[in-house]
């Protein structure tokens, strides 16, 4: 037993000795490697052999007398960063086409407010023709103005003439001399915008002190129908069809530009939901809907629309349980519009239409929602035309012919 113990002890000592025998050569090799690398490093830097760049500290400059300041500066190459982006390029191109609008209203000569500025907004230069330039803005921006001034991106001011305006679409067209105008907005296609795609709003929020402000967001929704009450009676007089965006739109942005990532005008900024509990919900008039109105305002100064005389809402705005319980619709009716009210002595009233009738077709074309109604009425019909209305009342399908009149402005 004692022999075995001695053997194990001796054998263990030998193993320890062998395991430590490599340490000294390894340390010596590392030291020699570091010394050699330190000696060769300046030459590697000088001849730019390293795959990366090293900036020598000031002490190294002083110790290496063979390396001049010129050589060191050639080794350390400056870095330039281009911060220009697609958005900055778009803004650079479009911003000069977005202008400020000043609404000046005259008062009595016996008051101190004669010629006082009533409000400011934004506009977009969309057309040059002959010696004139044309600007589109919102109706509410220039409503009641006795004088209108357009403020260009270089802060110069030009007098403008109101060519025409339309309350329902909230659009107005201004005309001014084109001498100082160099840029015109490129028109896009609002029918092809996609929910989620980026959008840029340019305008003058809170007045001209913040002119040319740029905000960015996305297209939050398309074809939103927003009820509007013009006479303050608590009942909707119109439903605006708009693009929804979360790009910041504030008072003063009205009439400004909503731009896509191709730098094209896809909407005229018009309104926002101003509630303390709501954030990032702004609306813009689609340019495809605005163009026919703009063209007629240029030509005639006002819009001539066919008038039916109903307050209508889409069936999709009503709980489906009410479709059968309150409106008595058959189960195969899945879309349409119901009449909330019918104006006395209107074309609809004269033809026999009544409250809670559900219209499903006009001239044989299916009507799925309020947008379809407006498109058919305002794009395919004129005052004096007749229109066949297919509707349900108390579960019975009926038809009447309506003779349309002109809508009063």
> Do residues 282 and 205 make contact, with C-beta atoms less than 8 angstroms apart?
no
- Cross-strand partners of 100: 122, 151
Q: Which residues contact 296 (CB under 8 A, 6 or more apart)?
A: 164, 302, 303, 304
| The one catalytic residue among 122, 165, 190, 254 | 254
Closest CA to 267 of 298, 294, 304, 297: 294
Cα 398 to the center of its chain, rounded Å: 43
Q: Which residues contact 149 (CB under 8 A, 6 or more apart)?
A: 101, 102, 104, 157, 158, 159, 160
| The one catalytic residue among 140, 166, 213, 284 | 140
Helix ranges (DSSP H) in 120-220: 139-142
| The one catalytic residue among 122, 165, 170, 372 | 170
Task: Give the span between the Cα atoms of 134 and 102, in whole angstroms.
Answer: 16
Task: Give the span between the Cα atoms of 356 and 119, in whole angstroms.
Answer: 42
Active site residue 357: no
Helix ranges (DSSP H) in 47-103: 58-63, 69-75, 86-94
The secondary element (H helix, E strand) that includes residue 388 is strand 386-393
Active site residue 140: yes
Angle, alpha carbons 393-398-400 (nearest 5°): 115
For residue 277 the two structure tokens come to 């509990």
- What is the DSSP code string of 277-330? T--S-EEEEEHHHHHHHHHHHHHHSS---EE--EEEEEGGGS-HHHHHHTS---
- Cross-strand partners of 400: 389
Active site residue 170: yes
Return the DSSP state at 95.
G
Task: Give the span between the Cα atoms of 394 and 159, in whole angstroms.
Answer: 58
Query: Which segments of 48-170 are extended strands (E)?
Result: 98-105, 116-129, 132-137, 147-151, 157-166
Task: Give the span between the Cα atoms of 234 and 237, in whole angstroms.
Answer: 9
**Which residues have a catalytic role annotated?**
140, 170, 254
């Amino acid at each position: 037993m004692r022999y075995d113990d001695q053997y194990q002890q001796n054998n263990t000592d030998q193993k320890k000795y062998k395991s430590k025998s490599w340490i000294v050569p390894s340390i010596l090799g590392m030291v020699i490697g570091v010394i050699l690398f330190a000696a060769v490093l300046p030459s590697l830097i000088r001849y730019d052999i390293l795959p990366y760049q090293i900036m020598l500290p000031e002490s190294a400059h002083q110790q290496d007398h063979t390396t001049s300041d010129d050589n060191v500066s050639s080794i350390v190459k400056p870095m330039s960063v281009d911060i220009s982006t697609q958005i900055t390029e778009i803004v650079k191109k479009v911003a000069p086409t977005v202008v400020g609008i000043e609404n000046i209203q005259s008062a009595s000569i016996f008051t101190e407010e004669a010629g006082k500025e009533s409000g400011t907004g934004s506009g977009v230069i969309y057309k040059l023709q002959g010696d004139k330039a044309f600007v589109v803005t919102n109706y509410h921006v220039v409503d009641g103005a006795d004088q209108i001034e357009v403020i260009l991106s270089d802060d110069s001011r030009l007098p403008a003439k109101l060519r025409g305006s339309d309350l329902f679409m909230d659009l107005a067209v201004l005309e001014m001399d084109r001498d100082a105008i160099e840029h015109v907005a490129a028109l896009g296609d609002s029918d092809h915008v996609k929910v989620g795609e980026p959008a840029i709003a340019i305008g003058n929020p809170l007045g001209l002190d913040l002119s040319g402000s740029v905000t960015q967001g996305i297209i939050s929704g398309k074809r939103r129908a927003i009820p509007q009450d013009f006479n303050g009676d608590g009942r909707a007089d119109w439903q605006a069809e708009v693009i929804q965006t979360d790009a910041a739109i504030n008072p003063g942005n009205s009439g400004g530009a909503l731009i896509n990532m191709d730098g094209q005008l896809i909407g005229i900024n018009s309104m926002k939901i101003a509630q303390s509990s709501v954030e990032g919900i702004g609306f813009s008039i689609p340019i495809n809907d605005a163009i026919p109105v703009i063209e007629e305002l240029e030509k005639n100064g006002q819009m001539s629309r066919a008038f039916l005389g109903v307050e209508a809402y889409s069936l999709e705005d009503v709980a489906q349980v009410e479709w059968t319980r309150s409106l008595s619709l058959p189960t195969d009716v899945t879309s349409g519009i119901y009449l909330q009210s019918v104006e006395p002595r209107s074309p609809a009233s004269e033809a026999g239409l009544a409250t809670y009738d559900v219209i499903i077709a006009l001239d044989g074309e299916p009507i799925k929602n309020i947008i379809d109604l407006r498109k058919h009425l305002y794009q395919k019909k004129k005052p004096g035309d007749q229109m066949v209305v297919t509707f349900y009342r108390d579960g019975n399908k009926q038809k009447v012919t309506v003779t349309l009149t002109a809508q009063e402005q």
